[in-house]
Structure 1
């Protein structure tokens, strides 16, 4: 079962390695500032998606004169 750990910013600065290890193991680490929740410390999750060229084909439209200056700008 994961545990909720709450520390203030000053404590977090001196215990970052330990807090990171706890977050990695699944504990919910909350860093507070002024007595209120400020940050959640979360482990990195690699979520790389393969690029698929052309996946927006037909969904994006660019006007033929998009790069022409308009009279009202000048």
Structure 2
């Protein structure tokens, strides 16, 4: 679809894009952009989202034995 046609029909293109359709926008016959649906939106992450889903060793923050001499 040409850039002028895309500009003229933007509202219709957005409705169709929301429905899952993709469009390639051209300028002088050359593809320059793609209009496609965004991925599924999800809520932002928050503290505690991973609680119970990951495990860390109790000594995770303890110095590694290999570096002990460099830390003294």
What is the deviation of 1:51? 5.1
**Could you tell me which residue of structure 1 aligns to residue 16 of structure 2?**
22
Aligned pairs, how many? 48
User: Please, which runs of 5 or more residues in structure 2 have no aligned partner?
Assistant: 48-60, 62-72
Highest RCO, 1 vs 2 (Cα 8 Å, sep ≥ 6): 1
Aligned ranges 1:33-44 → 2 under 5 Å: 33-44=27-38
**Distance between the aligned counterparts of 2:13 and 2:24, measured in 1?**
9
TM-score, scaled to structure 1: 0.51
Q: Which has the higher strand share?
A: 1
Structure with greater Cα Rg: 2
Spell out, residue by residue over 1:16-69, the C-alpha distance to the aligned partner (whole angstroms, 9 max, x if none).
0111111111111111112011111122332554156xxxxx8xxxxxxxxxxx
TM-score, scaled to structure 2: 0.52
Is 1:50 aligned with 2:45?
yes
- Which of the residues 9, 13, 32 maps onto 2:7? 13
CA RMSD between the two structures: 2.2
